[in-house]
Amino acid sequence: DSGVTQTPKHLITATGQRVTLRCSPRSGDLSVYWYQQSLDQGLQFLIQYYNGEERAKGNILERFSAQQFPDLHSELNLSSLELGDSALYFCASSVGGRTDTQYFGPGTRLTVL
């Protein structure tokens, strides 16, 4: 158990819908990262927040957005969902942001029908 929690564990929805994935970092960690893992794309970095502020952006689509709240939990919002958005979405956290080890949560499996 990494100490990072993600909800829900599974999510099934239809194309065009909007969903919110939630992540709670390890106690004391200030950085939260979001990753997408699909069969054809592998593990892709989406975005990082540090203490409430966006710090790094990866291959995140404009239909996706994220935020980190004052209590440091984070939410990833996915809208206008497409079949290709079906994937495992992982959240990771670290104490800071430099060379600190990232601890990954168990992931949310999103299925878009």
Partner 1 sequence: LAKTTQPISMDSYEGQEVNITCSHNNIATNDYITWYQQFPSQGPRFIIQGYKTKVTNEVASLFIPADRKSSTLSLPRVSLSDTAVYYCLVGDMNTGFQKLVFGTGTRLLVSP
CA distance 95 to 8: 24
Among 21, 32, 92, 112, binds partner 1 (CB under 8 A): 92
Whole-number minimum distance, CB 27 to partner 1, in Å? 17
Span from 13-21, 43-51, 61-69, 76-84 in contact with partner 1 (CB under 8 A):
43-51
12 binds partner 1 (CB under 8 A): no
If DSSP codes are grouped into helix, strand and coil, which group holds residue 10? strand
CA dist., res. 7 & res. 24, Å (int): 9
Which positions touch partner 1 (CB under 8 A)? 2, 4, 31, 33, 35, 42-45, 48, 50, 55-56, 58, 88, 90, 92, 97-107, 109
